[in-house]
Amino acid sequence: MNNKKLGVIWVGILSMIIIPLLSIAYIRYDENHFSCESQLILIGKDDHYNSIMHYTFADGFGSFESLGSFHRSHNPPVSRTNNFPFKYWKEQGDTIMVADDSSDPPEDMKQLFTFLPDFFYTKDRGLRVHILRENDSGYLFTDNNSPLFYCTRIPARSLNPN
């Protein structure tokens, strides 16, 4: 009888140690393995660009994919894509992302792209953001405590860094 009680006590103690450790491991894994999407609208004088952006983060490797439509007054919309891999790391609570590829914006859109950081179209250029997990469904990307955009969590995508 005493052995049974002692066994139950040990199982309880081990559970109280193991469960929090597993929770911490899951949270750390989840911070570096997620995908999300956000909408971007750039508005110029006679044109605008509407895009859905996908970000994927996986152990220091990421990918950015966007699909959008460029509208110039009195012209039909034109589909545009921008896809590139990036590397990222954490530094003082911020996430630093550096593009691994460049994708020059089309000539007709260059004026709109002046609103975007170089990260989105120039290789080896970076973007420093703070990514806050807002809730189970998304992340808030901020810079200097100012919100940049909300990114809705989507099923994680597999990344092949090669």
Q: In this predicted model, what pLDDT tens digit does every residue of 97-115 receive, in sequence order? A: 999 988 777 776 777 677 7
- Phi and psi at 144, nearest 5°, equal 50, 45
Q: In this predicted model, what pLDDT tens digit does every residue of 75-95 receive, in sequence order? A: 898 888 889 999 999 999 999
Q: CB atoms < 10 A from the CB of 7, how many? A: 10
Q: In this predicted model, what pLDDT tens digit does every residue of 130-151 receive, in sequence order? A: 999 988 899 999 998 899 999 9
Domain boundaries, the chain: 1-31, 33-154
Tokens, residue 48: 């605008």
pLDDT bucket at 67, cuts 50 / 70 / 90: very high
How far, in Å, are 52, 70, 105, 110, 150 from residue 67 at the CA level?
6, 10, 13, 17, 17
CATH fold of 33-154 reads: Lipocalin (2.40.128)
